[in-house]
Chains A and B, each alone.
Chain A
Amino acid sequence: MDQETGLALSTLLISIARGAAPLLFAAMGGLLSERSGVIQIALEGMMLMGALFAAITSYFTGSPWLGFAAGSLAGLIMAGLKSFFVLKLRTDQIVTGTAINILAVGIAPFITKILFQSTGSTPNLPIEARFVYAPLVISFLLSGGLMYWFSQTRSSLWVQFAGEAPQALQASGISVGKVRLFSLLTCGLFAGMGGATLSLCLASAYSPNMTAGRGFMALAALIFGRWRPLPTFFACLLFALTDAIQIRLQGATTGIPVQFIQILPYLITIIALAGFFGRSQAPKGLGQHI
Chain B
Amino acid sequence: MKSFLGFLFGVFLCLILSLFAGESPTHVLMVLLKSAFGSKYDLGLTLFYTTSLIFTGLSVCIAFYAGMFNIGAEGQLIIATLATAAVGILFPNVPSSLAPLFGIGVAIITGGLWGFIPGILKAKRGSHEVIITMMMNFIAAGIASYYVVGALKSTTSQNPESEMVSPNYLFKSFDPISQFFQDSPANLSLLIAIFLAVALHFFLFRSIKGFEIRALGQNEEAASVAGISGVQLKTLCMTLAGAFAGLVATNEILGSAGKFQLGFSPEYGFIGIAVALMARNRPLRIIFTAFLFGALQKGASDLDLETNAITRDFAKILQAVIILSVISFALIPLNFEKVKKWIKKQA
Using CB atoms and an 8 Å cutoff, list the residues of chain A in contact with chain B.
Answer: 41, 85, 89-92, 94-96, 98-100, 102-103, 105-110, 113-114, 119, 212-213, 216, 219-220, 223, 257, 259-260, 262-263, 266-267, 269-270, 273-275, 279
Asked whether, in the complex, the Cβ of A95 is within 8 Å of the Cβ of B69, the reply is: yes
Query: Do A113 and B323 touch (CB < 8 A)?
Result: no
The verdict on B324 contacting chain A, using a C-beta distance below 8 Å, is yes
- From B131, B142, B270, B314, A110 is in contact (CB under 8 Å) with B314
Partner of B273, one of A85, A95, A257: A95
Q: B residues bordering A, Cβ < 8 Å?
A: 20-22, 69, 71, 121, 125-128, 130-132, 134-136, 138-139, 142-143, 145-146, 150, 270, 273, 277, 309-311, 313-321, 323-324, 327-328, 331
- For the complex, give the distance between the alpha carbons of A109 and B21 in Å: 12
- Cβ of A274 and Cβ of B146 under 8 Å apart? no
**A98 vs B311: C-alpha distance when bound (angstroms):** 22
Q: Name the B residues within 8 Å of A212 (CB-CB).
A: 138
Using known A-B contacts A100-B320, A266-B138, determine if residue A275 contacts B327 with beta carbons closer than 8 Å.
no
Contact A94 B130 (CB under 8 A): yes
- CB neighbours (8 Å) of A269 from chain B are 131, 135
A257 partner residues in chain B, CB cutoff 8 A: 146, 150
Residues of A within 8 A of B143 (CB): 259-260, 263
B318 nearest CB neighbor, chain A only: A106
- Contact A95 B323, CB 8 Å, known A41-B130, A274-B121: yes
Q: Are B309 and A99 in contact (CB under 8 A)?
A: no
Which residues on B sit within 8 Å (CB–CB) of A107? 317
Q: Report whether A110 and B21 are in contact in the complex, using a CB–CB cutoff of 8 Å.
A: yes
Asked whether A114 lies within 8 Å of B321 as measured between CB atoms, the reply is: no
A91 touches B121 (CB 8 A): no
CB-CB nearest 9 A-B residue pairs:
A106-B316, A103-B320, A106-B317, A259-B146, A99-B323, A102-B320, A109-B313, A275-B125, A266-B135
Chain A residues near B313 (CB, 8 Å)?
105-106, 108-110, 119
Residues A92 and B327 in contact, CB atoms below 8 Å apart: yes
B315 proximity list for chain A (CB < 8 A): 106
Question: Do A89 and B139 have beta carbons less than 8 Å apart?
Answer: no
List B contacts of A220 (CB < 8 A).
128, 131, 135
- CB pair A90–B320 under 8 Å, yes or no, is no
